[in-house]
Each structure stands twice: as structure tokens, then as C-alpha cells.
Amino acid sequence: MKSNIREHVEITPGVSGGKPRIAGHRIRVMDIVLWQTKCGWSPDEIVSQFPQLSLADVHAALAYYWDHKEEIEADIRSAEEIEAKSRRKHPSILKGKLETRQSEVLSRRTYSKSRG
């Protein structure tokens, strides 16, 4: 079984951060896991979203994940921490404008109700 997984999953230093990925692609095992866990996609849905992948690729990635669960989950946590740090360092300008606008609308409603 492990040899079948190796046909579909490879690790190449300098490609995709040296993380396990689908052979011949830059789609990482952790991406497949996140699409299944966070997006709720089935293996068939993942293939429909990424037709360059085969169903065997997706299942091999999931098998690899279960064989290396702690490592992949550590990679996911690390990526989430980097993303959170980046969001704090570079906050969304659009999000700030939307929050300001929403606050202004709520203030106007509150003011109107207090006068009425």
C-alpha cells in the first residue's frame, strides 16, 4: 500500500515548501485535507474542483495524511499561524471600510430611534 501512495505523493525540496504534495502538481497533501475538513468537500468534489487530479491522487493524499497525521496537522497549524500574523500585520483596508460604514449605519439608526 505505501508504494501506491508514493506513486501519487512526493516530497521535493524547494517545491511547495518541501511539503508532501500530489506528484507532478503543487497541490499539497495539507490542501487536500483542508478542502475535506474545512470546506466539507468529498474526494469526488475535490476532483471536480481540480480535474487535473485523479481520484487515486486524492485518496493517496488522504492515506498519506492518516499515516503522517501529526506532521500534517503541525504544518496546518504553522500555516494558520503565519496567515494570522500576516492578517494582523496587514489588515484588510476593505474590511476596515465596511466596518466603519456598518458602524455609521447603526449610529444613524440609533439616533433616529432616539428622536422618534
* CA–centroid distance for 29 within its chain: 11
Paired with 28 in beta bridges are 21
* Confidence check: pLDDT of 107 > 50: yes
Question: What nine digits make up the cell of 70?
Answer: 501529526
- CATH code for the domain defined by 2-90: 1.10.10.10
Domain segments of the chain: what residues? 2-90
- Percent of the chain past pLDDT 70, that is, above it, reads 91
pLDDT band at 1 (very low <50, low <70, confident <90, very high): very low
Average of pLDDT values for 23-30? Answer: 96
The residue with cell 500576516 is: 86
Average of pLDDT values for 65-87? Answer: 94
Alpha carbon distance 113, 111 (integer Å): 6
Instruction: Give the CA diameter of the chain.
Output: 74
Question: What was the pLDDT predicted at 5?
Answer: 75
Question: What was the pLDDT predicted at 111?
Answer: 64
Average of pLDDT values for 66-74? Answer: 96
